[in-house]
Amino acid sequence: MNPDPSVGAAIRAALLTADPAAKVKAARKVARDWRLGLLALSGDLPMPSRPARPAAPELLPPNRMPKRGKGGSRRTRIALWHALAHIEFVAIDLALDMAGRFGTEMGAEFVGDFLGVAADEAMHFALLDRHLASMGSHYGALPAHDGLWQAAADTAGDVAARLAVVPMVLEARGLDVTPATLARVRAAGDQSGARILERILDDEIRHVRIGVKYLRRIAHNRGVSPDSLWISLVRRHFRGALKPPFNDSARSAAGLSLAACGVLAS
C-alpha cells in the first residue's frame, strides 16, 4: 500500500499556486485533506522563500502606495476593499507557510490549527473579492503593498519569532483597526460589507489566540515568562512599533497580555 501523500508537499504546492481562485481552492483542499486524515506528517520539505504571486496586482513598497483618501467616493471604497482583500490573500500564504515550515518541529495539532487558519483566510479573501465584484472591480485592479511577506522572511528560521510577529502583532493589529473600518462601512450603508468584516474580526480573534497558545507552550518549555519572551522576540524581529489605541476587549479575548502590549507600545 502506498503511504499517504505528505502534507508538506501539498502545502508547498498551494504556496506555489499563483492564481487567486486556484490558491483559495488549494488552501481549502489541503486543510480538508488533513482533517480527513489523507495527508501524512512525514519528513521535512523546504518551503519556498516566497510564494507564487499573480501578475496583478502590481506590488509596490509601502512608501510608494497611492493614498486611499478618506471620502466616500466609489474609488475610495474600492481602494479600501482591495487593500483588505490583499491582506487576506497574503494571510493565506502566511498560514500555509507556518504549517509547512514548522509543522514537523511543532507537531500535528499545530499543523491542523494553522491549516484551519489558512482555510479561514481563503474564505475571507473569496468574500472580499466577491464584494469587489459587486462594486464593479476585482482583486488585481489596483496596486498593493509588498511589505506583508517581509515578516515571514525575517522569521523563517524561528517558529517562536514567527508566532510572536505574525499572529500576535500583525493579525492583532487587525483587531485594533477593524472596528473603526466597520463603523465607516455601516455609516455608508454597506450592510453586506459590514457582515464580512464582522466575520473576519471574529475569526481573527481566534487566529491570534492560536498564536498565543503555541508561544505560551514554547515559553513554558524554555522556562521563561510568555510576556518576556514575546517582548524580546518582537523587539528583535519586528520592524516597527505597536501603535495604540488597542482594542483591549478583542486582545483580551485572544489571550494577549495587555501589560505586554503596553510595554511594546512605550
Q: Can you say how many angstroms the Cα of residue 103 is from the centroid of all Cα atoms in its chain?
A: 17
What are the start-end ranges of the E strands in the chain?
A: 59-60, 144-145
**Can you tell me the distance from the alpha carbon of 132 to that of 80, in angstroms, rounded to the nearest whole number?**
10
- Whether 1 shows a pLDDT value over 50: the answer reads no
Count of beta carbons in the 10 Å neighbourhood of residue 115: 29
Instruction: Please check whether residue 115 is in contact with residue 26, taking contact to mean a CB–CB distance below 8 angstroms.
Output: no
**What was the pLDDT predicted at 26?**
98
**Can you tell me the distance from the alpha carbon of 202 to that of 58, in angstroms, rounded to the nearest whole number?**
30
Domain residue spans of the chain: 1-40+69-144, 146-265
Q: What is the pLDDT of residues 134-186, one digit of tens each?
A: 999 999 999 998 888 988 999 999 999 999 999 999 999 999 999 999 999 99
**Can you tell me the distance from the alpha carbon of 112 to that of 29, in angstroms, rounded to the nearest whole number?**
13
Count of beta carbons in the 10 Å neighbourhood of residue 43: 10
Q: Over the chain, what is the mean pLDDT? A: 94
3-state secondary structure 86-118: HHHHHHHHHHHHHHHHHHHHHCHHHHHHHHHHH
**What was the pLDDT predicted at 71?**
61
Average pLDDT over residues 74-92: 95
Instruction: Please check whether residue 93 is in contact with residue 51, taking contact to mean a CB–CB distance below 8 angstroms.
Output: yes
**What was the pLDDT predicted at 23?**
98
**Can you tell me the distance from the alpha carbon of 67 to that of 262, in angstroms, rounded to the nearest whole number?**
29
Q: Can you tell me whether residue 145 is helix, strand or coil?
A: strand
Find, among 7, 178, 32, the residue nearest to 98 by Cα. Answer: 7
Helix (H), strand (E) counts: the chain: 11, 2
Give the list of residues 6+ apart from residue 212 with CB closer than 8 angstroms, or none: 167, 168, 226, 254, 255, 256
Q: What is the pLDDT of residues 18-76, one digit of tens each?
A: 999 999 999 999 999 999 999 999 767 899 999 999 999 999 887 777 776 666 788 99
User: Among positive and negative, which fits the CA dihedral 128, 199, 226, 93?
Assistant: negative
Q: Which of 104-118, 136-150, 187-201 has the lowest mean pLDDT?
A: 136-150
Question: Grid coordinates standing for 107?
Answer: 507537531
Give the list of residues 6+ apart from residue 33 with CB closer than 8 angstroms, or none: 10, 39
Q: Which of 42-46, 200-204, 233-237, 256-260 has the lowest mean pLDDT?
A: 42-46
Instruction: Please check whether residue 216 is in contact with residue 226, taking contact to mean a CB–CB distance below 8 angstroms.
Output: yes
- Quick one: CA torsion of 81, 149, 10, 106, rounded to 10 degrees? -120
- Whether 2 shows a pLDDT value over 60: the answer reads no
Q: Can you tell me whether residue 149 is helix, strand or coil?
A: coil
**What was the pLDDT predicted at 12?**
97
Q: Can you tell me whether residue 60 is helix, strand or coil?
A: strand
Average pLDDT over residues 229-241: 92
**What was the pLDDT predicted at 68?**
67
**What was the pLDDT predicted at 43?**
66
